[in-house]
Amino acid sequence: MTRSDFLAGCVLPMAALCAVPLCAGSAAAQSLADRPATPDPALSIPADTPQVAPAAAGDDQVQFSSSSLEYDYEADIVTALGDVRMTRSGEKLRAEKVVWNRKTGRVVATGNVAVTNPQGDVAYGDSIDLTDSLKDGVIDNLLVVLERGGRLAAVDGRRDENGTYFLNRAAYSPCPVTDANGCPKEPTWKITAVRVTYRPDNDRVYFEGARFNLFGLASPRLPRFSTSTAESNSTGLLTPGIGIDRLNGGELTLPFNIAIGQNRSLVVTPHIFTQVLPLLETHYSEVNTLGAFSIAAYATSSRRSEDLSTGFTTATERAFRGYLDGTMRFQFTPEWSLSGSLRLSTDRTFTRRYDISDDDRLRSTFALEHIDANSYFAVTGWATQTLRVGDRQSLQPVALPEIDYRRRVQDVAGGVLSLQANTLAIGRKAGQDTQRAFASAEWDLRRLTKWGQEVTLTAFARGDAYNTSDAAATLVPSYRGLDGFQTRAIGAAAIDVKWPFIGELFGGTQRWTPRVQVVASPHVANLRVPNEDSRAVDLEDSNLFALNRFPGYDRWEDSSRITYGGEWAFDRTGLSIDTTIGQSYRLDSRPTILPSGTGLSDSFSDIVGRTNVRLRDFITFTHRYRLDKDSFAVRRNEVDATVGSYTTYATVGYLRLNRNIDPVVGLQDREEVRFAGRAAFARFWSVFGSAVIDLTDRAEDVLSSSSGFDPIRHRLGVAFEDDCLELGLTWRRDYRTTGDIRAGNSYLLTLAFKGLGR
């Protein structure tokens, strides 16, 4: 069966667009090895073949070679036979036979014809009639292999002097047309058309009377359209989306890209629903020599609830609803940069109702930074919009600005001196306002003894100044501080000793490193100043040996203490294990400001540790824990594990916090488990799923409304992905109801065509 047979009626299998070796037992057809998709180096003129003198002198000359030549001197006609090659101004021709009329400039080539343009596109055909410019001509049984991998096939076609192809009864696809064994296969998708125009100058293919074929199923005839063969920014319709939502009904998205320039794009996406009014989404993005930025806006009118405390309610009102989401980053010099983000919503349920985001807080930020080898300077700011039930927006902080400067000075008394100056202003619409400034210096000296110990000496000093107002608006007394202007001085000295031992074990290497740290710090007037950034204190392996176990700057651990522990590691080919464990003991008896339940409130701290296991790229396992110092009860139990390969895997995450912290402090205990996984089958297919389950009960958190097994949400779906198509169907169920967001099911169909440009 010939390529013309396949093309008849424009319903050809695209495997026939490119002749390939037939499967075992069949006679060989023309091979891709002889017709490469990229420009063929063999199209150059061999040095040892007969050549005809160029038709004209200069750069625009014809080079000609073949196995044998016949020349009619009277008619000035050259007939070349056997592996004929012609080149002129970047255009190349290869054929079994070429008849060249040097008077008229007509060239007729037959037998395995291949013509390559300067862009690298290769046109194959049974015969071609063109001029000796090798640019324009008529080709029968045409196949064009684009430089970027796409293919065009046609019953016949022509190419003009500008390199544009005009094809009749043609088909196009960027998909592979052979399987892993080299046998022909039907492409995942293709476009067949009555007429096709391909313009290499703008990398676009234009279709008339076209039908879209997916998995062999043809669409109705489509209006005239075009697609890009390159990754370029062009105006046009993007891949539509289809979904079914429990709240909004059926959904159809129709994204349309407007190319403002090669570096700027505006995508306008109407979301059409069956049960509510449409939603309009716009997304502007730009890339320039300094950086990039983008901003997305969503807008609609729908009913919403202002009462989020009683679950789903029908007491709603129609209102304008919308959301803004923007990001930017500019690099002015290698040292100076500007970055930022903007996230704003008209209400607390909009982003979840329209499946834009599951975040319960929206954070807007900006940062102007200067970074070099030994210093850092930044002017930053941030604001938070809460979407949480029960939170008052008027109590959310706005930090504007924070100014931070740090400098590292080498070789100061043999060590490294780190200097920092910082100032921060925090304001609230109806809450406590705070301004803070401090300057600090930290000196570190690291030495290795002749016995192999690593000894680090540290000296630290800091001076703080605070000014606060409306402290009584803060509900937790230990977070308030005193109204007015307050100062504070902080000092600390520490010595940290590590002593690693290394040896062989089970064909690998083991390393045991005991560690001891002593920290001395005088009493600090912590409660005189407000606590804005040091509230989430909790002992864990990452801060066990920190100079200050409080996060942030507003609280300082002023006790003198000794911390001890060790790290054991094992490494051999394909396997690594790393585990740490430690505890601390407070040397003085002064009262502590550390809340009960953090693991640090008594003289002996709780025991904390972490274990990491990695078996090649198949298993990763991390376990973090905290044990009660008296009863060895597990106060923190956190597991993250992944088993499998890139295509088939399972992950599980488990967290249980059983700290018995006073709920007033705002650090509630909780327990939850997370599952996710994917299983590949039938080469291109896979099933996937995920789930989050709240296991918290009233015994763990008196403020929790969970029953002890309360699913939050799950997803389950099936996906197909090959070299040119992504197709997926996802079922999602949400189990919690808030305001105008009801618990229930949603379905999403995703479809993305790779190689189908804008």
Q: What is the pLDDT of residue 50?
A: 46
For residue range 580-598, what is the model confidence (pLDDT) as tens digits? Answer: 999 999 998 878 888 888 8
pLDDT category at 34 given cuts 50, 70, 90 is very low
Contacts of residues 649-655 at CB distance under 8 Å and 24 or more positions apart, as own/partner, are 649/677, 649/678, 650/675, 650/676, 650/677, 651/675, 651/676, 651/677, 652/676
Listed residue (613, 629, 633, 632) closest to 621, CA to CA: 613
| Residue 116: strand pairing partners | 92, 122
Q: Is the pLDDT of residue 9 over 50?
A: no
Mean pLDDT computed over 353-363: 91
| 745 and 735 Cβ atoms separated by less than 8 Å | no
Q: What is the pLDDT of residue 109?
A: 86
3-state secondary structure 589-616: CCCCCCCCCCCCCCCECCEEEEEEEEEC
Within 8 A by CB and 6+ apart from 497, the residues are 453, 454, 455, 456, 515, 516, 517
Q: What share of the chain is helix, strand, coil (3-state, %, to 5)?
A: 5, 55, 40
pLDDT > 90: percent of the chain: 50
pLDDT category at 48 given cuts 50, 70, 90 is very low
For residue range 661-713, what is the model confidence (pLDDT) as tens digits? Answer: 766 666 778 899 999 999 999 888 999 999 999 998 877 665 666 777 889 89
What is the SS3 assignment for 524? coil
Q: Is the pLDDT of residue 337 over 90?
A: yes
Q: What is the pLDDT of residue 680?
A: 94
Give the highest mean pLDDT range of 131-145, 149-163, 209-223, 660-674.
Answer: 209-223
Specify the residue for token string 């005839």. 221
Range 641-658 burial, b when 16+ CB lie within 10 A, else e:
ebebeeeebebebbbbbb
Q: What is the pLDDT of residue 125?
A: 82
Mean pLDDT computed over 160-183: 83
* Cβ neighbour number for residue 568 with a 10 Å cutoff: 16
Average per-residue pLDDT for the chain:
85
Q: What is the pLDDT of residue 312?
A: 47
Stretch among 292-301, 433-442, 717-726 having the lowest mean pLDDT: 717-726
Q: Is the pLDDT of residue 37 over 60?
A: no
| 558 and 540 Cβ atoms separated by less than 8 Å | no
3-state secondary structure 356-369: CCCCCEEEEEEEEE
Q: Is the pLDDT of residue 53 over 70?
A: no
Q: Element (H or E) spanning 245, and its range? A: strand 241-245
Stretch among 219-228, 380-389, 631-640 having the lowest mean pLDDT: 219-228
CA distance 738 to 741: 5
Listed residue (157, 191, 194, 188) closest to 175, CA to CA: 188
Q: What is the pLDDT of residue 4?
A: 36
Stretch among 114-123, 214-223, 320-329 having the lowest mean pLDDT: 114-123
| 115 and 92 Cβ atoms separated by less than 8 Å | yes
Stretch among 509-518, 618-627, 657-666 having the lowest mean pLDDT: 657-666
Between 219 and 285, name the one with better pLDDT.
Answer: 285
DSSP letter string over 323-357? Answer: EEEEEEEEESSSSEEEEEEEEEESSSSHHHHTTS-
Both tokens assigned to 183:
């046998």
pTM of the model: 0.78
DSSP letter string over 380-411? Answer: EEEEEEE-STT--GGGS-EEEEEEEEEEEEEE
Q: Is the pLDDT of residue 11 over 60?
A: no
pLDDT category at 469 given cuts 50, 70, 90 is very high
Give the highest mean pLDDT range of 227-231, 394-398, 575-579.
Answer: 575-579
